[in-house]
Amino acid sequence: MKRMMGLLLSLALMTVLAVGCSNNTERQPENTPAENDVEAAAEVKQEEKIHTKVAAPSGAPTLSMIKMFKENPSLGENVEVSYESVKSPDLMASRLMSSEVDIAVVPTNLAANIYNKGIPYQLAASNVWGVLYLVSSEDINDWNDLKGKEIDTIGRGLTPDIVLRYLLSSNGIDPEKDVTLNYLGEATELASAFIAEKSKISVIPEPVLSNVLMKKADTKVVLNLQEEWAKTTNMDSSYPQASLIIRKDIIESYPEFVEAFLKEFEESINWANDYPAEAGIYSEELQTGLNSQVVEKGMERSNIKFVNAIEAKRAIETYLKILLEYSPDIVGGKLPDDDFYFKK
């Protein structure tokens, strides 16, 4: 498994000086070669840098750390951090499987999946708490009004599909018999179809939804699937759609850096919520694919908030258990054990 370039080497500093047992009692020089080696090694150690790669999928996950992406704040002496917004889910998964990325925001089920495969990451916090909304150009007031309707959505067999199917079933609607689910390739394709009135009812995620609302004035946000999830599961929060994971060797070797990163990450999330217009400007400047107006209007519905792993654990386990029941492979075949959760 690849190891991050520039991690501090574990130096064995040998300080035992060879003093013979002969009758020669001459005093050793004040600076022996061994002592000089120790001093040189210490200087090298001080000069070495921690090079850390941070990645997040485009969309709400990148917005959660957009301030860090733009400002690249200092996280300690001799620490260098590079940030990347990854557009391809397959590319992100590949980099995690090979441990090329040190810290990443990923779908929570992917975090569980790679952990269950023995890839040494720990979940440090959950930061995106669902972005799915059922919208319509028709008069839909509740779940019962969906019976007999066609619903366009994305991600067949993936988390958006499972969340929708779970909520339909929990509200007395058979996804196989009472509605017709049509799957499009991606959110932008879904949005285009709805704007062009080729779709009457769709499940559209933020921040794409904001673009739809700006371009199609008669769009009605019928159901907030995050609120429906909380009601259905009797939770006081939505589902933790995305979470921050950190390589375990970094957690163990550099606790001060990890603490500084998590503090800055939480501040970045709070800043984005407090200053959505500025977050939108940053997003546009960094060419994330989201223009400033879409980010500003969609921030509130993006449900970005920082919850550390221990506080989020119950919500995470509830979410993963439901995903496991629908599709075991999506979480790696089992619920992760307690070591999955980073403890300060």
Residue range 236-288, pLDDT digits in tens: 899 999 999 999 999 999 999 999 999 999 999 999 999 999 999 999 999 88
Using 50, 70 and 90 to split pLDDT, how confident is the model at 47? low
Residues 109 and 139 in one domain: no
Q: Residues 49-64: what's their mean pLDDT?
A: 91
Q: Residues 146-161: what's their mean pLDDT?
A: 96
Q: Which domain CATH number covers 66?
A: 3.40.190.10
Assess if residue 319 is contained within a domain. yes
Assess if residue 228 is contained within a domain. yes
Using 50, 70 and 90 to split pLDDT, how confident is the model at 290? confident
- What pLDDT score does 27 carry? 40
Residues 119 and 167 in one domain: no
pLDDT tens digits for range 177-193: 999 999 998 899 999 99
Assess if residue 120 is contained within a domain. yes
Per the prediction, the chain carries an average pLDDT of 87
Sign of CA dihedral 227, 233, 237, 242: negative
Residues 139 and 121 in one domain: no
Assess if residue 179 is contained within a domain. yes
Q: Is the model's pLDDT at 7 over the cut of 50?
A: no
Residues 228 and 136 in one domain: yes
- What pLDDT score does 288 carry? 85
Assess if residue 17 is contained within a domain. no
Residues 258 and 272 in one domain: yes
Using the 3D structure, point to which of 233, 254, 272 is the last residue of a domain: 233
Assess if residue 166 is contained within a domain. yes
Q: Residues 56-81: what's their mean pLDDT?
A: 92
Residues 6+ apart with CB under 8 A from 222: 133, 134, 135, 136, 140, 141, 201
Residues 114 and 136 in one domain: no
Number of domains observed in the structure of the chain: 2
Range of the domain at 112: 50-129+240-340
Q: Report in angstroms the alpha-carbon separations of 227 from 59, 130, 235, 301.
A: 20, 9, 10, 11
Using the 3D structure, point to which of 233, 264, 286 is the last residue of a domain: 233
Residues 176 and 197 in one domain: yes
Using the 3D structure, point to which of 204, 233, 262 is the last residue of a domain: 233
Q: Is the model's pLDDT at 32 over the cut of 80?
A: no
- What pLDDT score does 58 carry? 84
Where do the H-state alpha helices sit in the chain?
Answer: 33-47, 60-63, 66-71, 89-97, 108-116, 159-170, 187-195, 208-215, 225-233, 248-253, 255-274, 276-285, 292-298, 309-326
- What pLDDT score does 50 carry? 87
Residues 335 and 205 in one domain: no
